[in-house]
Amino acid sequence: MFKQQFLHLYVTQSLVTIPMFTPIVVALMVASGNPTPTVGSHAPEFTAPSTSGELSLKSLRGKWVVLYFYPKAFTPGCTAESCSLRDGFDGLRTLDAVVIGVSTDDLDTQRKFKEKYALPFELVADSDKRVVKAYDVSGMLGFAKRRTFIIDPDGIIRHIIEDVDTGKHAEQVRQILETLRAKKDTSR
């Protein structure tokens, strides 16, 4: 009779028991995918359709980039988040920051969203989910998770906001940018 073997792992201080073959599957998945972007790592490069044409992250080098992912245009939380960034846009721009929004919506939806709410920044239409996958923000039902990456002028991720306050997101981002810029200025 076949006897199932199990592997016992501690995951975030909890014992998890999984079948022995699972590590092989996990190893294959990790080996075939991109590493999860973390603070201090290079931001994954991408070129994707945006509301102003093709947008390449590399073309934004030399500026701070606020790359925010949101699940779905026109939903209450995503609208509040985008409008917060719109309302705080001038303050972020004085910090030499470029704001880019990304969702899995198609380009037509992104254009309508940008126009309806007078968003002064570009929105990326990641309908093929390449950017979402590169940043490891795939959420339920194929939508992007709500997450913001602050990328420095050299293309290094300096902060990741996972606990986004949709109504006050511009203020969250501004405070983090001011702190990061001050650190960068004192390290020169």
Q: How far is CA 178 from CA 23, 92, 97, in A?
A: 42, 9, 11
* 78 a catalytic residue: yes
Structure confidence at residue 188 (pLDDT): 58
Q: For residues 70 and 144, what is the distance between their CA atoms, to the nearest angstrom? A: 6
Averaged pLDDT of the chain? 86
Residues in the chain, total: 188
Assigned superfamily of 47-186: Glutaredoxin (3.40.30.10)
* Residue-wise pLDDT tens digits, 13-63: 444 444 444 444 344 334 445 678 999 999 999 999 999 999 999 999 999
Q: Is the pLDDT of residue 94 over 50?
A: yes
- DSSP characters over 48-110: EEEBTEEEEGGGGTTSEEEEEE-S-TTSHHHHHHHHHHHHTHHHHHTTTEEEEEEESS-HHHH
| Chain centre distance of CA 180 | 18
Side-chain half-sphere exposure of 64, counting CA atoms within 13 A: 22
In the 8-state DSSP scheme, what is residue 12?
T
Per annotation, catalytic residue among 43, 55, 66, 78: 78
Can you state the angle between helices 169-186 and 76-87, rounded to 10 degrees? Answer: 50
Q: For residues 95 and 103, what is the distance between their CA atoms, to the nearest angstrom? A: 24
Domain residue ranges in the chain = 1-33, 47-186
